[in-house]
Amino acid sequence: GAGVSQSPSNKVTEKGKDVELRCDPISGHTALYWYRQSLGQGLEFLIYFQGNSAPDKSGLPSDRFSAERTGGSVSTLTIQRTQQEDSAVYLCASKRRGDGELFFGEGSRLTVL
């Protein structure tokens, strides 16, 4: 499709397990963002990739969180040893360089039991 694709759309896991969330951005978009949205909360910035530059990881809440972007395209957000407070919707977005519109995926809803 032409939009940002995220998978899985829903993930239920047990506390302590690792999870991987995938984002496939719009082709040609150089910027890719990960945000987290908890119930009734705003969007919390996690990490930002821009082209070949080093990613801005300043929003990652702990060292259990990591992300990579391979080949300037697909990105994977990994959460190790998940905790209940990690439960949220994880949103990926991409855009062209500059101040164009940020296109969001539909999100991955993570529930940690």
Partner 1 sequence: AQSVTQLDSHVSVSEGTPVLLRCNYSSSYSPSLFWYVQHPNKGLQLLLKYTSAATLVKGINGFEAEFKKSETSFHLTKPSAHMSDAAEYFCVVRHGSGNTGKLIFGQGTTLQVKP
Phi/psi for 70 (5° steps) reads -95, 135
- What's the length of the chain? 113
How far is the C-alpha of 23 from the C-alpha of 5, rounded, in Å? 6
User: Cβ of 57: how many Cβ atoms within 10 Å?
Assistant: 13
20 vs 56 by CB, closer to partner 1:
56
30 vs 87 by CB, closer to partner 1:
30
Instruction: Establish if 10 lies at the interface with partner 1 (CB under 8 A).
Output: no
14 vs 98 by CB, closer to partner 1:
98
Q: How far is the CB of 20 from partner 1 (least distance, A)?
A: 22
H-helix or E-strand containing 39? none
Whether 3 and 93 have beta carbons less than 8 Å apart is answered as no
Site for partner 1 in 12-31 (CB under 8 A): 31
Q: Which residues bind partner 1 (CB under 8 A)?
A: 31, 33, 35, 41-45, 48, 50, 53, 56, 58-59, 91, 93, 97-99, 101-102, 104-107
